[in-house]
Amino acid sequence: MDRTIHYEAAFEAFLRDRAVPYVAVDEAKKALFSNARLKSFDFVVYSKNGTNLLVEIKGRKLRNPQGRSGFETWSPQRDITDLMEWEQIFGKDFKAVLGFVYELNPAPLYPEAGMFQFRDRWYWILGVELTEYRNHMRRRSPRWETVSLPAAEFQSLARPLESWL
């Protein structure tokens, strides 16, 4: 977690606003473990009613929230692979989720579930379970080793992240 990245700071404020217990994973401390090979995720989020979450934040801009177009859903392949391994390490009481935090510009006329205002910006916080993402992802760029979800799959799989909480 990097508080200088506004998407991650907005997600943390979202959790605080809803009094959801969490731990922000400090990427800087990873340097202490010279043999660490897994990329860290951003948050451990503790659910009051269900499975706890391991959340990897993906900050993106969404320019047309009313038309629900322009969802960027890409991720480095390594993030998917490493997050799958983290889910195994944490065990059955934890579920890995990709948290897509979309900055909305312009601001929404009618805020929907998952929309949140932070520091004069609006965000839409959606999540996709890692297993579902992995089952539907497509190669985006072999050169950059990135993957993404086709728009139709994203719209059917993504839901407000707060629905897990």
Query: Which tens digit of pLDDT belongs to each residue from 63-108?
Result: 665 555 578 899 999 999 999 999 999 999 999 999 999 999 888 8
* Phi and psi, residue 66, nearest 5°: -70, -40
Render pLDDT for 11-36 as a digit per residue (tens, 0 to 9).
Answer: 999 999 999 999 999 765 555 444 56
Q: Which amino acid is at 46?
A: Y
| CA neighbor of 124 nearest in space, from 154, 100, 91, 153 | 100
Among 45-54, 66-75, 136-145, 147-156, name the one with the lowest average pLDDT: 66-75
Instruction: Judge whether 114 and 162 are in contact, CB under 8 Å.
Output: yes
Q: What pTM did the predictor assign? A: 0.88
Most confident of 3-7, 60-64, 92-96: 92-96
Q: For the chain, list the strands marked E by DSSP.
A: 22-24, 43-45, 52-62, 75-76, 94-104, 115-118, 121-129, 138-141, 146-148, 159-160
What domains, with CATH codes, occur in the chain? Answer: 6-164 (3.40.1350.10)
